[in-house]
């Protein structure tokens, strides 16, 4: 047999280790995956997504639903807002901020109010007008002006803020339970995200 004939014979022999193409590898892998493996993978993905969502709510942004009328007209009952848990890690609370905080009266309840004064400020209400450090405050966001009631001047203690609702005639706030601890603040309100027609920043 000539060299040419030997080469032709070798090339014509069937091979038992045919190469697996990338496409055929994927097909083989898909065939090997059991239904139980697919279910386990879905469970892991869902659990990871849930864990991430919980971490975001715990440390970054948390949704909150309004169940009170004390912040009308700024916030209506049923509005859903987003609150930032990070804001006060970078700056101090300031007058005008809308915050969600743990109720100092009813354990387990969360309230939403507006900060009107901070530590060291002098606060008073005279003839239905808020005074801070002796100056009357212009508050265009209030539901009713002037509002009912007076309050003798008091100084906000260190580590506390003075909060009031925008619906002053229907708001249980620092006029009744005193200034709240800064540590009780859950977060600073960012925006209304639902219902769609009420989208706005706060």
DSSP 146: S
Is 70 one of the catalytic residues? Answer: yes
Contact 133, 30 (CB under 8 A): no
Contact 188, 83 (CB under 8 A): yes
Report the DSSP pairing between strands 185-194 and 129-132. unpaired
Is 160 one of the catalytic residues? Answer: no
CB count in 10 Å sphere of residue 144: 14
Spell out the alpha helix ranges (H) of 93-190.
Answer: 174-177
Take residue 91 and report the two structure tokens written for it: 């700056």
Query: Catalytic pick from 70, 160, 171, 174?
Result: 70
Residues 165 and 71: their CA atoms lie apart, in Å, by 5
Query: Catalytic pick from 24, 31, 113, 137?
Result: 113
Q: Which residues are catalytic?
A: 70, 113
């Amino acid at each position: 047999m000539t060299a040419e004939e030997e080469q032709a014979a070798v090339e014509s022999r069937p091979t038992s280790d045919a190469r697996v193409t990338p496409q055929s590898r994927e097909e083989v892998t898909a065939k090997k995956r059991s239904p139980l493996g697919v279910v386990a993978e879905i469970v892991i993905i869902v659990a990871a997504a849930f864990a991430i969502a919980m971490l975001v709510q715990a440390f970054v942004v948390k949704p909150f639903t309004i169940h009170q009328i004390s912040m009308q007209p700024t916030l209506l009952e049923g509005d859903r807002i987003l609150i930032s848990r990070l804001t006060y890690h970078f700056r101090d609370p300031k007058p005008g901020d809308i915050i969600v905080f743990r109720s100092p009266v009813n354990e387990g309840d969360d309230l939403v109010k507006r900060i009107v004064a901070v530590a060291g400020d002098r606060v008073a209400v005279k003839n239905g007008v808020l005074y801070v450090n002796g100056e009357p405050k212009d508050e265009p966001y209030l539901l009713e002006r002037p509002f009912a009631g007076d309050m003798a001047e008091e100084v906000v203690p260190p580590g506390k803020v003075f909060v009031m609702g925008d619906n002053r005639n229907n708001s249980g706030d620092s006029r009744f339970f005193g200034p709240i601890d800064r540590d009780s603040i859950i977060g600073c309100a960012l925006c209304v995200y639902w219902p769609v027609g009420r989208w706005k920043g706060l």
